[in-house]
Amino acid sequence: MTRSYRFISEHRAVFGVTRLCRVLGVRRPGFYEWLAAAPTRAKRAADDEGLAAEIGEVHAGHRGAYGRPRIVVALRRRGRRVNHKRVGRVMRERGVVGLTRGRRRSLTRPDAVAAPVPDLIGRDFTAPTPGRRLVGDIT
């Protein structure tokens, strides 16, 4: 939609708004609504630039380790009212990412060549008298 409206805005002096809207298949009132919202879009873009500068300060101040959740907390501590979704969008648009931890690695690995332990009692854990079958489990 935005591309269509931008095209109409650039060529309306030559072809007229009504004709361009009909050819592009968009609503004429929708174009005028988009045109009226231009100052709001410009203000939001300026606010996003200011927010991006603050995000960059916090991110650099913590050696690039902070991601979106911690940056949101840091901005709120500074007194800035922000939404976590907006911070995430601004960070994504500007390529700001935090450090992620590496995968946890298992310290024990089964031996591939070892023979499996035999099941000596055949999964029957009942005992005729106490002390006849002693079983243990390390899991």
Task: Kindly report, residue by residue over 25-69, the tens digit of the pLDDT.
Answer: 999 999 999 999 999 999 999 999 999 999 999 999 999 899 999
27 within a domain of the structure (yes/no): yes
Q: pLDDT at position 78, please? A: 94
Name the residue with tokens 């854990």: 125
Q: pLDDT at position 83, please? A: 95
139 within a domain of the structure (yes/no): no
51 within a domain of the structure (yes/no): yes
CA–CA dist 38, 44 (Å, integer): 10
Q: How many domains does the chain have?
A: 1
14 is written with which tokens?
Answer: 């030559």
Q: pLDDT at position 139, please? A: 62
134 within a domain of the structure (yes/no): no
Q: Give the domain extent around 7.
A: 1-94
106 within a domain of the structure (yes/no): no
pTM over 0.75: no
CA–CA dist 84, 68 (Å, integer): 7
**Confidence bin at 94 (pLDDT 50/70/90):** very high
33 within a domain of the structure (yes/no): yes
